[in-house]
Amino acid sequence: MKQALAPFAEAGLGAGPIPALIVTDDERRRLEMMGPVRERLIFCDRNDQLRKRLEGGSPPAVVIETRDADGYPVPAAIRAWVERHPGIPIVVWTAGGEGALREVLDLAAAGGDVRLILRRRGHLATALDNLIALPSQSHPGAVPALLRGVVLGAPSSIQPELTLAAYHSWPQPSVRSWAESLHVTRQTLNARLGAASFAAPSIILDCFSAAEIAMRCTLGIKLKQIAVAMGKRDERSLRYRLGLLGCRPEELNDEADFRALIPRIVEAVKR
């Protein structure tokens, strides 16, 4: 599947109500109290209610947990709708277990722009405020391309690990944070990847991070600006990561240049 690139928006998400299937009472209360997001969320707690909300049009975003109030999977219930509306962000708030991560990957396979927010590590209200208000947050980055082009083709045994790697590759990739999000040590993560004949975690994150850098280069963002966004003082480490994929920023001009990197990433993350 081709990964279409879109320019960064000049504003955050468009106007309109945002359906939110949030079952957890405490999180609902927090969302109702926080920032500009509170007036736009339309809450529901069951799949049939969410589907009715979605039938009415194309909201600027959708917020879900992975299970509704009756315990039924939410991603599966909206998969067909996601296939018909691939550009709408689907914000998934989850503890990040293996089953949930596979469901996230399935939504990505359906063409979804899936934004993952992990409980205990991410603040849902703040993330939603940023998504609504900040221009840079309305663009999905390289995550959809990595999930569809790299993770889905990997052995199923490590797809959950690689899914979280894609979400940890920007703006400050960290093996430690990646491992902690999986509730394992770095050594265990390395062993899991090695058992599937995949490279060390640091190499995988460098390659995924290179995809994020490359995608921004193709959108006309200067390498110096990308370095600042990543908290880097200069461009050298960014050039090094791009070099892992055999390219330079000057060679990244359009969508075709970005797509050409995906097979290189597939090869680079294997042992």
Residues 164 and 262 in one domain: yes
| Domain limits for position 256 | 146-268
Residues 243 and 163 in one domain: yes
**Residues 218, 80: Cα–Cα separation, whole Å:** 31
State residue 13's pLDDT score: 66
Residues 156 and 215 in one domain: yes
State residue 136's pLDDT score: 56
Residues 220 and 244 in one domain: yes
Residues 47 and 126 in one domain: yes
239 to each of 12, 174, 220, how far by Cα in Å?
Answer: 29, 18, 16
State residue 1's pLDDT score: 37
Q: What is the number of other CB atoms lying within 10 angstroms of the CB of residue 220?
A: 12
Last residue of one domain, picked from the residues 114, 139, 164: 139
What CATH code is carried by the domain that includes residue 121?
Answer: 3.40.50.2300
User: For the chain, how long is the longest CA-to-CA vector?
Assistant: 52
Last residue of one domain, picked from the residues 90, 112, 139: 139
Please spell the DSSP secondary structure of 69-123, one letter per residue. Answer: TTS-BHHHHHHHHHHH-TTSEEEEEE---HHHHHHHHHHHHTT-EEEEEETTTS-
Residues 167 and 208 in one domain: yes
State residue 137's pLDDT score: 60
Q: HSE of 176 in the Cβ direction (CA atoms, 13 Å)?
A: 1
State residue 140's pLDDT score: 81
Domain count, the chain: 2
Is 6 part of any domain?
no
Residues 201 and 111 in one domain: no
Is 34 part of any domain?
yes
Per-residue pLDDT of the chain (271 residues; tens, 9 = 90+): 334 444 444 345 667 899 999 998 888 888 877 666 778 899 999 999 999 999 977 899 999 999 999 999 999 999 999 999 998 999 999 988 999 999 999 999 999 999 999 987 667 878 887 777 665 566 789 999 999 999 999 999 999 999 999 999 999 999 999 999 999 999 999 999 999 999 999 999 999 999 999 999 999 999 999 999 999 999 999 999 999 999 999 999 999 999 999 999 999 999 8
pTM (2 d.p.): 0.88
**107 with 146: CB under 8 angstroms?**
no
Residues 105 and 190 in one domain: no
**Residues 219, 246: Cα–Cα separation, whole Å:** 19
Reply yes or no: is the peptide bond before residue 17 cis, omega within 30 of 0: no
Residues 264 and 150 in one domain: yes
State residue 132's pLDDT score: 72
**Structure token pair of residue 25:** 């009472």
**Residues 175, 157: Cα–Cα separation, whole Å:** 19
Closest by CA to 173, choosing from 135, 137, 136, 213, is: 213
Q: HSE of 177 in the Cβ direction (CA atoms, 13 Å)?
A: 16
* H or E stretch covering 57: none
Last residue of one domain, picked from the residues 139, 158, 176: 139
Residue length, the chain?
271
